[in-house]
Chain A
């Protein structure tokens, strides 16, 4: 897939964006075009192709980073709720169990 010449590479500072967030964002856009991520000094460069809107990609990268940061704080609560729902539905949870 050709890289869009009109789009300059986007630079994501390592101080704000983890590699995981950028990879997740790239995966979200995988059906719409290509995202080439290159780790460099102080951050990661993203080159978009296939007509991906740079603003939309940047929004998604921020969304993924926020999700990661939030999960670090709330994953225990979220995990309890999700596990309760799944185990109850599967019949695995014991009555009165914690």
Chain B
């Protein structure tokens, strides 16, 4: 009698199978996953064989399933554990991303603003240079060996003195401590000058801006009283791209990047958005959904959309990107890249919103202009509305360990554990996914949320469905695998 995927004594029973989750995909295929992040796509007939313990031992399917930890008799426990450890290496790292909100002031009035910005003339919303240095010192207490300090706002260039002070301080302290510190600026570029640009380049600050697509769409989303926002964005993107291509021996110059926020106005314009990114020489476009958090929550009826609307936009956009790739154009989609890193390479790409537990405090900290520390930038936006549930402490009053073990930290970590989420614990996408306590709280009233009616869950399920269906097709699979091949 042929050996099968199950023990003889328990043949045909669920107890004979190792732990796995599954999902029926469109077209009849069934996706199997396990906690090590391994996955296998079976036909309906193969899945029934697997379920019933009738997969013949010598078959290719048996060997494939055994190698991936789906055959209990053939479990490589050490290999399984190593894969789990690799996938979850962030659990031992500590916060790597430190967001310094240098000012709440902004000279734009974006229709979807999620950063709780105030007008350019507002007072009392700038971080002082001294406090900015203290925030850098606090970030350097992180147990994470390689941290990133990201300067945000509002528009951070409105508080140049604090930005300059924290950059210089971070570089000096990093040298003294022998620490790896990456510095990043997120700016709309409207206040960028040659002098500032040279300073940023010389201090190895990587540059990221917002680019919502072609000029008319960008300027409709990102309203700038001082003229066209798009023109300044493009001008300085070209400047930093040229600097990247040139490179000089004195310092490293990073390729600039851009972030897209998809508003209702963006729907149906995916090709023009992607074309704009390609035109500007950007190699990554992040088709990033809007979340009903902060200012966007109040304007959701005007600028928001249903998950299904975003998924239609996403599928059309990704399909277009794949077609461009097939024609030799270099452009990748960031959601796909980060998910594929997990699915195909079994590594953590540092996508803090998609971790278990989520990245709140244990992966990132957001430092408000007044020194208050929040679990994440989204949590800071909730705080701006008067609810400090996600506040983890204050730079000047609280110790590093107190912040790490704060109520906000513990609550977010516990609430985002997928093993105690009713739907997530059985979801085939569990090894690659994560929940967001801030999103849950803002949309459903609790940190843990209720996944069957959770918009973010529906959205990510759709993204994973899209990717796995594309991975089942040889032509698209080849391109997607190429995006994350080492």
> A82–B361 Cα gap in the complex (Å)?
12
> A14–B357 Cα gap in the complex (Å)?
32
Q: Are B409 and A86 in contact (CB under 8 A)?
A: yes
Known A28-B445, A81-B357: A70·B422 in contact at CB below 8 Å: yes
Q: Are A85 and B91 in contact (CB under 8 A)?
A: yes
Residue of B nearest to A92 (CB): B401
Q: In terms of DSSP, what is the predominant structure of the interface of chain A?
A: helix
> A71–B246 Cα gap in the complex (Å)?
56
Residue of A nearest to B416 (CB): A82
Known A66-B422, A67-B420, A70-B425: A89·B143 in contact at CB below 8 Å: yes
Q: Are A85 and B422 in contact (CB under 8 A)?
A: no
Q: Are A81 and B420 in contact (CB under 8 A)?
A: no
Interface centre among A31, A77, A86 (most CB of B within 10 A): A86
Write the nearest CB–CB distance from B401 to chain A, whole angstroms.
5
Q: For B448, list chain A residues within 8 Å (CB).
A: 67
Q: Are A91 and B420 in contact (CB under 8 A)?
A: no
Q: For A13, list chain B residues within 8 Å (CB).
A: none
Write the nearest CB–CB distance from A3 to chain B, whole angstroms.
20
Known A82-B413, A90-B404: A63·B422 in contact at CB below 8 Å: yes
Q: For A60, list chain B residues within 8 Å (CB).
A: 446, 450
Asked if B168 is an interface residue, CB under 8 A from chain A, the answer is: no
Which of these, B405, B419, B420, contacts A90 with CB under 8 Å?
B405
Band of interface residues on A: 20 to 34
Q: For A86, list chain B residues within 8 Å (CB).
A: 362, 404-405, 409-410, 413
Asked if A88 is an interface residue, CB under 8 A from chain B, the answer is: yes
Q: Are B92 and A93 in contact (CB under 8 A)?
A: yes
Q: For B444, list chain A residues within 8 Å (CB).
A: 28
Q: For A75, list chain B residues within 8 Å (CB).
A: 420
Q: Are B450 and A59 in contact (CB under 8 A)?
A: yes
> A31–B443 Cα gap in the complex (Å)?
12
Q: Are B422 and A81 in contact (CB under 8 A)?
A: no
Asked if B328 is an interface residue, CB under 8 A from chain A, the answer is: no
Asked if A36 is an interface residue, CB under 8 A from chain B, the answer is: no
> A81–B401 Cα gap in the complex (Å)?
18
Known A81-B91, A86-B409, A90-B401: A28·B446 in contact at CB below 8 Å: yes
Q: Are A81 and B356 in contact (CB under 8 A)?
A: yes
> A12–B20 Cα gap in the complex (Å)?
33
> A56–B445 Cα gap in the complex (Å)?
12
Residue of A nearest to B90 (CB): A85
Write the nearest CB–CB distance from A57 to chain B, whole angstroms.
11
* Per-residue A-contact encoding for B326-350, CB less than 8 Å = 1, 0 else: 0000000000000000000000000
List CB contacts (< 8 Å) of B411-461 with chain A: 413-414, 417, 419-422, 425, 444-446, 448, 450-453
Q: For B422, list chain A residues within 8 Å (CB).
A: 63, 66-67, 70
Write the nearest CB–CB distance from A12 to chain B, whole angstroms.
16
Q: Are B420 and A88 in contact (CB under 8 A)?
A: no
Q: For B362, list chain A residues within 8 Å (CB).
A: 85-86, 88-89
> A25–B244 Cα gap in the complex (Å)?
53
* Per-residue A-contact encoding for B69-98, CB less than 8 Å = 1, 0 else: 000000000000000000010111111000
Q: Are A74 and B445 in contact (CB under 8 A)?
A: no
Asked if A11 is an interface residue, CB under 8 A from chain B, the answer is: no
Asked if A17 is an interface residue, CB under 8 A from chain B, the answer is: no
11 interchain pairs, CB-CB under 8 A: A67-B448, A71-B420, A78-B414, A81-B356, A82-B414, A85-B90, A85-B357, A85-B362, A86-B410, A88-B94, A88-B143
Extra A-B contacts (8), CB below 8 Å, given A28-B444, A63-B452, A89-B362:
A24-B446, A59-B452, A67-B421, A67-B448, A74-B425, A85-B362, A86-B410, A93-B92
Q: Which 8 A-B pairs have the closest CB atoms?
A: A90-B404, A66-B422, A89-B94, A78-B419, A78-B417, A63-B450, A89-B362, A74-B419
Residues of B at the A interface (CB closer than 8 Å) are 88, 90-95, 142-143, 356-357, 361-362, 400-401, 404-405, 409-410, 413-414, 417, 419-422, 425, 444-446, 448, 450-453
